[in-house]
Structure 1
Amino acid sequence: MATAIYCDNAVWGFTLLAIAQAMAGQATAAAETVAALRQKHPRFNLGVFRRHEPYRDAETLNRLTALLANAGLSE
């Protein structure tokens, strides 16, 4: 299944870690985490993140997406 890669708990662990690092001002660490995520799951991107995150508040989702984008996750 092509979408199974996106349900992998490791993907969400990487994204949560990168977001936490970015929020803590650890931009280099967040970029390294995103690089590791992309190495393991090269098709994962911001669009996939947006589609699979259950935030009802668009502002929160946009803020988290911006943090991941700043850390190097592409569209």
Structure 2
Amino acid sequence: MKPKEFDALVTAHKLKGGSVAAARLVLVDGMSAYAAAQKTGLAESTISRALDKLARPLCQCCGQPLPEKKD
């Protein structure tokens, strides 16, 4: 993913804090979640939750994240 695309995705999902830096390491720099956790000092589970949040699709009309499907 390109840095500009990542920035737009973070803005749309309103992701904040250290998880943004860790998600950037994974999605832009190609690092593993484990390596990003080691580098940022965050728990791997925190990074995983941030990545799951960023994976949610965006509405094509307004650009907002679509609600999660509940099983």
* Category of TM-score, reference length = shorter chain: 0.3 to 0.5
- Quick check: which has more Rg, 1 or 2? 2
| Greater relative CO, 1 or 2 (CA 8 Å, sep 6+) | 1
Q: State the TM-score, normalized to the length of structure 1.
A: 0.34
Q: State the TM-score, normalized to the length of structure 2.
A: 0.36
